[in-house]
Amino acid sequence: MPTQPGPVRSASLGSWIVWLTGALVYILAVFHRTSFGVAGLEAAERFGVGAAALSTFTVLQIGVYASMQIPTGVLVDRYGPRRILITALVLLAAGQLLLALAETYWLGLAARGVLGLGDALTFVSVLRLAANHFPIRQYTIVTTLTSALGFVGALAATVPLTLLLAGPGWFTTFLGAGIVTALVVFLVRFAVRDVPVGSVREVTRHTSAREVGAQVLAAWRVPGTRLGFWTHFSTMFAPTTLGLLWGMPFLVQGQGYSPTTASSVLMVLVIGAMLTGPLLGAVTSRRRERRMPLVIGYLVTALVVWAVVLGWQGTIPLGLLFVAFALLSLGGPVSTVAFALARDYNPLWRVGTATGVVNVGGFFATTIASLLVGVLLQLSDGNFRIALSALVLMLLTGAWRMAVWYRRTRAAVFAAESRGEDVPVRLRRRTWDTPLVARECTKARRPSRERASTGS
């Protein structure tokens, strides 16, 4: 089982360089992920497909990403983040080179699938580097900075990519993107270390499928991991679904705005998350007990936003749309709380696996939400208010499950305190905590009684 020395006490300059190099890989991955946002119309013409087939590119890529998060976490824990980041860069470069050459729909679809696989390997790897190189008090802010830097890739995939496609063209643009990505392999090879200088990473033995399954199950059984999963599920999917697929059709076809105006509104999702991410990270890194109240506050705000947007009669004023999308953009930064939960409530050697489990939540929700909106649009003859109501349903479902595991995680913390164990965060006990705390204490005592009764 891959292990590492105890938690880092302070981050060195070398650790910051390692993280920045990993973050560069993540920026490239986000660029590749979002590039079809502006290349979609040209792709439709190049491959001779309509809107339904074109949407398959996005759904496939997100689906591959979501399905690979748990395997990625296991691979990172076993082989180390540097090897996985190098593999990710090779896949991303290969995917873009294949896309540059693709002239048929199925070959283009295969290229996006390869890109999705490479993309899936990046974020968990970068977070594992952060967990290895930074102390717990800095982990949250480094995580939010990573997420914020990813939006640089999203911005590069808007106007700059549009100009490149209009100038050099499809083949040259994606060929160049693939070559640049391949060159970054050498930077990662020489600049990234799995652990800080002076630390030794234990060589891992071969892990069987049963042991891998047990490791994933062990992470899933931790209430804090489950809370992280549903936190990510609830907070991330709405802005991602709008930004990657349905925001532009809603604003252009549903609200009657021009594509230029609609793209300006969608930019709010990117800029809002980029600006607020580091701020939220700074707040939650200093006061970890504020993390879940911030998440709950965002979910309540999102419900109010959707009530206004879907309940508005006629065309929604542009100013109100800017405010609504700015508030929804907070979902990306707030979702990084989920990774801090995975880091806090799991041993360091299992952080990669737990992070992968958590990261499934938001992308699984995005995949389901994207499909539901499309189905409802078709069934309702293009009624976006009916179709986007699927996002509200997903939000309510995620918030309900998050609330369940928030209570159970709190109960586990209080039960650990009562046994004299160290806990990742100090919480103030509320009246509604008492029943679950009592249940947790009873469960903890039961194994010792059973061992005593058997004489073991």
**pLDDT score of 85 more than 90:** yes
pLDDT reported for residue 95: 93
Same domain, 180 and 292: no
**Does 229 share its domain with 349?**
yes
Q: How many CB atoms lie within 10 A of CB 198?
A: 7
Q: Are 154 and 118 contained in the same domain?
A: yes
What b/e readout covers 126-154, taking b as 16+ CB neighbours within 10 angstroms? bbbbbbbbbebebbbbbbbbbbbbbbbbb
Out of 25-34, 190-199, 320-329, least confident range: 190-199
Q: Per-residue pLDDT averaged across 291-316, rounded? A: 93
pLDDT of 381 > 80? The answer is yes
Q: What is the pLDDT of residues 255-268, one digit of tens each?
A: 988 877 887 888 88
Q: Which of 50-54, 129-133, 310-314, 348-352 has the lowest mean pLDDT?
A: 50-54
Choice between 447 and 222, residue whose per-residue pLDDT is larger: 222
Q: Of 125, 158, 193, which residue sits at a domain end?
A: 193
Dihedral angle computed from the Cα positions of residues 335, 339, 340 and 343, in that order, rounded to the nearest 10 degrees? 170
Note the pLDDT of residue 450.
Answer: 37
**Residue 7 predicted with pLDDT over 60:** no
Mean pLDDT of the chain: 81
Q: What is the pLDDT of residues 235-256, one digit of tens each?
A: 999 998 888 778 878 888 889 8
| Residue 337 belongs to some domain of the structure | yes
Among candidate residues 417, 420, 411, 418, the one with its CA nearest the CA of residue 440: 411
Residue 428: band (very low, low, confident or very high) from pLDDT cuts 50, 70, 90: low
363: in domain:
yes
| Contact predicate 25/119, CB 8 Å | no
Is 214 a domain residue?
A: no
Percentage of the chain exceeding pLDDT 90 = 30
Which of 82-91, 94-103, 121-130, 212-221 has the weakest average pLDDT? 212-221
Burial 91-110 (b: 16+ CB within 10 A, else e): bbbbbbbbbbebeebeebbb
Work out the end-to-end distance of the chain between its first and last CA atoms, rounded to an integer number of angstroms.
Answer: 27
Yes or no: say if 366 and 236 are a contact pair by the CB < 8 Å rule.
yes
Q: Read off the pLDDT band of 396 (50, 70, 90).
A: very high
pLDDT of 443 over the 90 cut: no
Distance CA 90, CA 104 (A): 23
Please check whether residues 248 and 185 belong to one and the same domain: no
Residue of 259, 60, 268, 51 lying closest to 154 (CA atoms): 268
Convert the pLDDT of each residue in 199-230 to its tens digit: 655 444 455 667 777 878 888 888 889 999 99
**What is the CB neighbour count within 10 angstroms for residue 235?**
30
pLDDT, residue 308, reads 95
pLDDT of residue 204: 47
Whether residue 183 lies inside any domain: the answer is yes
Domain, as residue range, for 76? 11-193
Residue 285 in contact with residue 137, Cβ under 8 Å?
yes
Tell me the backbone φ, ψ of residue 109, rounded to 5 degrees: -65, -40
Are residue 350 and residue 387 in the same domain, yes or no? yes
Contact 369, 239 (CB under 8 A): no
Res 419 pLDDT > 70: no
Q: Cβ neighbours of residue 188 under 8 Å, at least 6 residues apart?
A: 21, 22, 25, 82, 85, 86, 89
Report the pLDDT averaged over residues 305-311: 94
Say whether pLDDT at 126 is over 70: yes
Are 342 and 355 in contact by the 8 Å Cβ rule? The answer is yes
Sign of CA dihedral 171, 177, 182, 183: positive
Are 189 and 266 found together in one domain?
A: no
Residue 332 has pLDDT above 50, yes or no: yes
Q: Which of 195, 134, 214 is nearest to 4 (CA)?
A: 195
Same domain flag for 143 and 186? yes
Please determine, for residue 321, whether its predicted confidence score (pLDDT) is greater than 90. Answer: yes
pLDDT at residue 187, rounded to an integer? 94
What average pLDDT does this structure show over 115-143?
Answer: 86
pLDDT higher than 70, residue 190: yes
pLDDT at 140 exceeding the cut of 60: yes
Q: Report yes or no on 112 lying in a domain.
A: yes
CATH number at residue 392: 1.20.1250
- The pLDDT, as a whole number, for residue 61 is 82
Tell me, what CATH number does 112's domain have? 1.20.1250.20
Q: Are 215 and 71 in contact (CB under 8 A)?
A: no
Judge whether residue 449 has pLDDT over 50: no
**Domain presence at residue 156:** yes
Among 142, 175, 193, residue at a domain's last position: 193
Report pLDDT for 285.
Answer: 67
Predicted pLDDT of residue 326: 93
> Is the residue at 203 inside a domain?
no
Using pLDDT thresholds of 50, 70 and 90, give the confidence band for residue 76.
Answer: confident
Tokens, residue 228 = 């992280």
**98 with 232, same domain?**
no
Which tens digits make up the pLDDT trace of 10-33?
A: 667 888 999 999 999 999 998 888
Distance CA 439, CA 150 (A): 42
Using alpha carbons, list the distances in angstroms from residue 456 to 129, 132, 441, 442, 445.
41, 38, 21, 20, 15
- Tell me how far apart the alpha carbons of residues 233 and 246 are, in angstroms, rounded to a whole number: 18
Q: How confident is the model at residue 310 (pLDDT cuts 50, 70, 90)?
A: very high
